[in-house]
A and B are shown apart, each in its own frame.
Chain A
């Protein structure tokens, strides 16, 4: 089953063409890792998916419902697609628990006690049971990112998007966050992950999409992409990051 379908997504900022008509399928329960050089449009593609950026052209289908049309509220789409950012973006003025509760209370309109229960459950799931009342400034980067994951998970999303979730983290924190993501993948969550963590991609991804210059130039299983890349561009990039 295809959870998310992108067809011919195009986007330019002024004269800079960032996406040149991207087609992409993410199947339910699968993990898709998107990799490629900086500035190739990976993050823009992810942001188009949950309509944080409106694509200039193309179609986005979530469970075969076209979501980038006037009659669909972006809020509705975003409640079904969770997103985790490179810079965490936790709400600075709220404790970890309140961070998770906020969207439940104000987006899903859940009662306070129910939201609280859900927050405790999700924070437990990412191993932060003892840090629930800490403020973001009191948490390490890895802990903050795990709170951000819990916050997105609390909405019970159908798809999770990760935009370079470990790029701002040290080795130890990276390991923490990847561990949580790995477990999530094994539990059957549909995920699209922009990442340069080759170890994670090899171990967890079902599909790898290699992005360059606003297009997916190669897509396949980790074995295909890492062992037998077809394109010259893919080959040179893989060699550089594996070295």
Chain B
């Protein structure tokens, strides 16, 4: 070699290998972005299309005489009661899904730590709650509550209320077991190099967990979480057995009353309506998660595409 090679910075840093498309547009705060994604016409148009299709379809059937005037009037007659059940279901879901997420987050994280004790407790939790049928768990929680409260000075109304909510908590703990595994997989999917880089920059382990690992784990976890949510929403119908008058419960009541109207189709109409509202309930939740997914989408972390 003659003389040292020339290491001057090339004038243009633009490299032909790199994609030049800019990242998604990011104006406004994080939560504003999420809200914008969820409450756009684009997102809700699907619901609107669904409802329009059902109305138009029913009208067409009515005109054709397949669905007689009695059936349609029965569907409208039970609508307030079904809606009542729908709101109750919505309320229950809004309690036990976030509860399950909180529990799942803590347990899932515990299972990825170095501590043998935390990992053991986490595994025990997941093993127990994943192997218990939700129905048994709900009965168990509310009956234990009933027995424990029997001799207290609380009035029967309060006692009953507590047993009802214990059932809801049981369902939250059940889904928590599944969500813990999703969160754990998400955390483990983040390459070790990411934590190492954060370490090398002098960021503490706790901070790098919240600023580096979890933001990436969360993006990977969203699609399976949406899957688990949509599955456990339908489990809300188990709560009917301990006395919650929710969507499926409303369905049972109206379907069993159909004998008064002397035609079997009344039950069919009832369950059709219940199914429609379950669809709406699930759609609201999964659509919200899709909105969050879209709002946080980042090139290179696209496991979440579609």
Residues of A within 8 A of B (CB): 50, 52, 74-79, 82-83, 85, 87, 89-93, 95, 102-103, 106-108, 127-128, 130-131, 133-143, 146, 148, 151-152, 155, 172-173, 175-176, 178-183, 199-200, 202-204
Chain B residues within 8 Å of A138, by CB: 18-21, 23, 299-300
Q: Is the pair A176, B13 in contact by a Cβ cutoff of 8 Å?
A: yes
Whether a CB of chain A sits under 8 angstroms from the CB of B144 is: no
Chain B residues within 8 Å of A152, by CB: 200-201
Given A85-B197, A89-B197, A138-B23, A106:B5 Cβ within 8 A: no
Scoring B residues 202 to 236 as 1 if CB is less than 8 Å from chain A, else 0, what string do you get?
A: 11100110011001100100000000000000000
Q: Is the pair B201, A93 in contact by a Cβ cutoff of 8 Å?
A: no
Q: Is the pair B203, A143 in contact by a Cβ cutoff of 8 Å?
A: no
Residues of B within 8 A of A (CB): 1, 4-5, 7-10, 13-15, 17-23, 191, 193-194, 196-204, 207-208, 211-212, 215-216, 219, 298-301
Q: Is the pair A52, B4 in contact by a Cβ cutoff of 8 Å?
A: no
Where chain B touches its partner, the secondary structure class is loop
**Closest-CB distance, A140 to chain B (whole angstroms):** 4
Contact of B201 among A102, A176, A182 (CB under 8 A): A102
Chain B residues within 8 Å of A179, by CB: 7-10
Given A52-B199, A85-B197, A137:B9 Cβ within 8 A: no
Q: Is the pair A89, B18 in contact by a Cβ cutoff of 8 Å?
A: no
Contact of A143 among B13, B199, B204, B300 (CB under 8 A): B13
Q: Is the pair A135, B8 in contact by a Cβ cutoff of 8 Å?
A: no
Closest to A98 in B: B211
Chain B residues within 8 Å of A173, by CB: 15
Q: Is the pair A92, B10 in contact by a Cβ cutoff of 8 Å?
A: no
Given A106-B207, A137-B300, A203-B4, A91:B10 Cβ within 8 A: no
Closest to B11 in A: A127
The complex places the Cα of A179 from the Cα of B194 at a distance, in Å, of: 26
Chain B residues within 8 Å of A127, by CB: 9-10, 13
Query: With contacts A131-B13, A134-B22 known, what are 19 further pairs, Cβ within 8 A?
Result: A50-B200, A52-B196, A74-B199, A75-B204, A78-B199, A79-B201, A83-B200, A85-B196, A93-B219, A102-B211, A106-B207, A135-B299, A135-B300, A137-B299, A138-B300, A148-B197, A175-B7, A181-B7, A199-B1
Closest to A91 in B: B212
Chain B residues within 8 Å of A82, by CB: 200
